[in-house]
């Protein structure tokens, strides 16, 4: 598992591997919203949590088509399917590598981009916590979508259509945690719901992804 994780991390850091692409897209989305809204500090402050979460969600989605496609093309996926390591574990490692290279950098830079959107200071910690709790679910759900569309030529659009509806609960509760935190309100309910979604996805989705992938590889 460690060797597979290190391999996926090395591939992500190579040119074209996807590392940095999500960060650049996240920055562009936030900047475009800030420029489009204009110098309206109150409006920017109100929409900042939702904008940051939408940017993070789309940035995670951007690199999902490479999650399994490259391994399918070079035959590595067939080897993983027949290896002693369970396919569920292999897909969990791939989801972890995706989160480390895509989700974790977004968590780190989100407070800095929150300044651009006039996010209240008390909201910096909560947007970080919300993304830290919620983005692992985005990577695991994305792995499920990648397993469904693996082997399909130009399956990026289909992948987006399949995954985006599954992202909605995470988006709702994640943005709500950040919004309530920025306004000084109690965040316990949406935070528990967000954590519940993430833990539920982490527990169940690798098995669904492995089952779908086995069907596609037959």
Say which residues have a Cβ less than 8 Å from residue 24's Cβ, sequence separation at least 6. Answer: none
Kindly list the domain boundaries of the chain, sorted by start residue: 2-217
- Which DSSP category does 64 fall into? T
Asked whether the beta carbons of 22 and 60 are under 8 A apart, the reply is yes
Dist CA 175 CA 59 (whole Å): 16
**Hey, how many other C-beta atoms are within 10 angstroms of the C-beta on 136?**
21
Say which residues have a Cβ less than 8 Å from residue 200's Cβ, sequence separation at least 6. Answer: none
Asked whether the beta carbons of 99 and 136 are under 8 A apart, the reply is yes
Q: Model confidence over 124-170: pLDDT tens digits? A: 999 999 999 999 999 999 999 988 888 777 667 788 888 999 999 99
pTM over 0.85: yes
- Which DSSP category does 40 fall into? -
Q: Model confidence over 36-55: pLDDT tens digits? A: 888 888 888 899 999 999 99
pLDDT at residue 49, as a whole number: 93
């Amino acid at each position: 598992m460690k060797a597979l994780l290190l391999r996926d991390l090395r591939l992500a850091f190579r040119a074209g591997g996807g590392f940095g692409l999500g960060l650049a897209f996240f920055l562009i989305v936030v900047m475009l919203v800030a420029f489009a809204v204009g110098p309206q500090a109150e409006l920017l402050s109100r929409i900042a949590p939702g904008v940051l979460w939408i940017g993070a969600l789309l940035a995670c989605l951007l690199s999902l088509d490479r999650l399994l496609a490259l391994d399918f093309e070079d035959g590595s996926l067939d080897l993983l399917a027949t290896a002693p390591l369970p396919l569920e574990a292999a897909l969990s490692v791939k989801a972890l590598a995706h989160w480390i290279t895509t989700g974790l950098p977004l968590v780190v830079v989100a407070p800095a981009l929150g300044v651009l959107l006039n996010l209240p200071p008390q909201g910096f910690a909560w947007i970080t916590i919300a993304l830290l709790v919620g983005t692992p679910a985005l990577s695991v759900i994305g792995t499920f979508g990648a397993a469904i569309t693996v082997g399909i030529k130009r399956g990026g659009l289909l992948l987006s259509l399949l995954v985006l509806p599954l992202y909605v609960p995470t988006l709702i509760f994640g943005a709500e945690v950040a919004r309530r935190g920025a306004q000084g309100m109690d965040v316990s309910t949406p935070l528990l719901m967000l954590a519940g979604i993430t833990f539920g996805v982490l527990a169940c989705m690798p098995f669904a992804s492995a089952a779908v992938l086995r069907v596609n590889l037959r």
